Each structure stands twice: as structure tokens, then as C-alpha cells.
């Protein structure tokens, strides 16, 4: 697992390439959908982090033109603090998921994802499990299908086209999230392992890796931390500023974070 830092951001700690051995596990064919998460909420009464706080971060381009001014993130002004945004109102209080049942659930924190997976009878995948599954039986490819993002001009993942964040040409057909089976699966039959939404893993984040010599057995990341690892990139990723839709790319965020481009899939030992 891992890749070359030259392809990404040095602080992300993609490299060095290292050998990992994993015990058998199962993992979701897709990320958890709005319909599946709605069943969980209906049966458990779970209140998500975003619902409890009353707001979440929404990409500015998804807000209506007449939406009231909202506070932006200083380092990333395209993210807007929107009161009333949550998993069932992904673009703000004026939106709903009535016609997005097969889209990935978003605005879920790490804690929400863990709660769902426990209810389901599983857990979040480790970062190593996620990468093994996402590679689909191949090693050291940039993407599940090869090294070229759009081979023959075909769009095989939901990522940003155009100039971020001002213009999305929507060449792949989707401005925000896409249905979870909108693109071809990887070699293991998993959909959307790159693009569409970032995916939570169970690991704490560290840029430096231990046990890089030999073979690491079922690595789980550092024992403590402040941020959890997320993998896979999202519909907002573009080579000009992010380039994290590659299979070896990684990023992190605090476990209580909720945004409109972050979801999850479950694993079972």
C-alpha cells in the first residue's frame, strides 16, 4: 500500500510504499446510501452530529443563488456554514433526499459512521483494508482502472471537471453526488472507491508510518490522534488543487466534522 509523494501532498504521508498482510474481511460494495441511513435512523432514533449542532458545511456551488450569506471557511471559502444542513437536507434546509435514495449519505461524522456500522453488525474499515479493497486486485495503479484519469475520454469517477471552484463543466453528468452505482466497479466489484464522496476509516491519522520494513500485519494506525483518516477523494477533487482521488492518496479531518462530500462504507471481520 501507499504511493509516491510526488503525486500528492508531502504532508499527507502517502509513502513509502510498504507491504501489508491482512486477515480476511468483507466490505460494502457501495458507500452507505441515504435510503440505508434513513432505515437506521428510523429504527434507532439516532441524531447525527450535524443535527445536534444545527449546521454543517455545504459546498457553495450547491446553494441557490438567493441563499442568504453564510460564513465561509477562511482557507477554503467554497465551504459555507449552513444552518439546517444535515444528512436529510444535504444542500441546506430547502433541500431533501426524496429523489436521492441511491446517493451516498453525507454530513455524517466519524461518530455517526461508527454508530451505523455497529447497528449493521460491522465496523469501519482500517485504512489498510480500505486501500486493499479499493485497489481491486492490482498494485500501484493511480486509479482502479489504470493510470489515466479519463482513458479514451471516458469518465470513470465523479470528480470535478473545469476550473475549481468557479466552473464545473459537468462532463461526467454530475455536479454534486452521483448515485452509488453510476460508474463501473473495480476488480473486486466495489463502486466509487475514488471520487463521489470521501470515506471515513477507523484509523487515527499520522503522516509518518511505522513498521515500513518487512510486512505489517493488520496495521491500524497510531493509537491516538486528533484527526481520522479519510480516503478516496470526492466530487470536488481536481488535479489543480487536490489530486486526492488517487488510490494511494489520503487526507484527514477531525472525527466530529460533517461536510457535504464525506460518507463511509462498512466492513466486517
Domains of the chain as residue ranges with CATH: 5-268 (3.90.1580.10)
Question: What is the pLDDT, as a whole number, of residue 4?
Answer: 66
Residues of the chain falling short of pLDDT 70: 4-6
pLDDT in tens, 60-72: 999 999 999 999 9
Query: Taking the complete model, does pTM exceed 0.75, yes or no?
Result: yes
Question: What is the pLDDT, as a whole number, of residue 240?
Answer: 87
- Give the residue from 114, 106, 142, 98 showing the smallest Cα distance to 31: 106
Question: What is the pLDDT, as a whole number, of residue 61?
Answer: 96
pLDDT in tens, 72-91: 998 899 999 999 999 999 99
Give me 77's grid cell.
Answer: 471559502
For residues 228 and 201, the answer to whether their CB atoms sit within 8 Å is yes
For residues 124 and 25, the answer to whether their CB atoms sit within 8 Å is no
Instruction: Give the list of residues 6+ apart from residue 45 with CB closer than 8 angstroms, or none.
Output: none
Q: What is the DSSP letter of 258?
A: -
Instruction: Give the list of residues 6+ apart from residue 99 with CB closer than 8 angstroms, or none.
Output: none
Please name the residue ranges forming H helices in 72-182: 110-120, 127-135
Count of helix runs (H) and strand runs (E) in the chain: 4, 13
Amino acid at each position: 500500500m501507499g504511493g509516491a509523494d510526488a503525486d500528492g501532498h508531502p504532508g499527507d504521508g502517502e509513502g513509502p510504499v510498504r507491504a501489508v498482510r491482512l486477515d480476511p474481511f468483507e466490505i460494502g460494495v457501495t458507500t452507505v446510501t441515504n435510503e440505508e441511513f434513513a432505515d437506521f435512523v428510523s429504527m434507532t432514533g439516532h441524531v447525527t452530529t450535524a443535527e445536534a449542532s444545527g449546521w454543517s458545511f455545504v459546498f457553495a456551488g450547491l446553494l441557490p443563488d438567493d441563499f442568504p450569506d453564510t460564513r465561509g471557511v477562511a482557507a477554503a471559502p467554497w465551504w459555507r456554514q449552513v444552518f439546517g444542513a444535515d444528512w436529510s437536507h444535504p444542500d441546506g434546509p430547502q433541500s431533501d433526499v426524496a429523489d436521492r435514495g441511491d446517493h451516498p449519505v453525507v454530513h455524517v461524522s466519524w461518530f455517526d459512521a461508527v454508530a451505523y456500522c455497529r447497528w449493521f453488525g460491522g465496523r469501519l474499515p482500517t485504512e489498510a483494508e480500505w486501500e486493499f479493497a479499493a485497489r481491486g486486485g492490482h498494485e500501484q495503479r493511480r486509479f482502479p482502472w489504470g493510470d489515466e484519469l479519463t482513458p479514451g475520454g471516458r469518465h470513470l469517477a465523479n470528480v470535478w471537471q473545469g476550473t475549481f471552484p468557479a466552473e464545473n463543466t459537468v462532463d461526467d453528468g454530475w455536479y454534486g453526488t452521483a448515485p452509488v452505482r453510476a460508474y463501473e466497479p473495480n476488480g473486486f466489484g466495489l463502486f466509487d472507491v475514488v471520487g463521489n464522496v470521501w470515506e471515513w476509516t477507523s484509523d487515527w491519522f499520522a503522516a509518518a508510518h511505522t513498521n515500513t520494513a518487512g510486512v505489517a500485519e493488520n496495521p491500524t494506525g497510531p493509537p491516538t490522534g486528533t484527526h481520522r483518516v479519510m480516503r478516496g477523494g470526492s466530487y470536488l477533487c481536481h488535479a489543480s488543487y487536490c489530486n486526492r482521488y488517487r488510490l494511494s492518496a489520503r487526507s484527514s479531518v477531525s472525527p466530529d466534522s460533517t461536510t457535504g462530500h464525506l460518507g463511509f462504507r462498512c466492513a466486517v471481520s
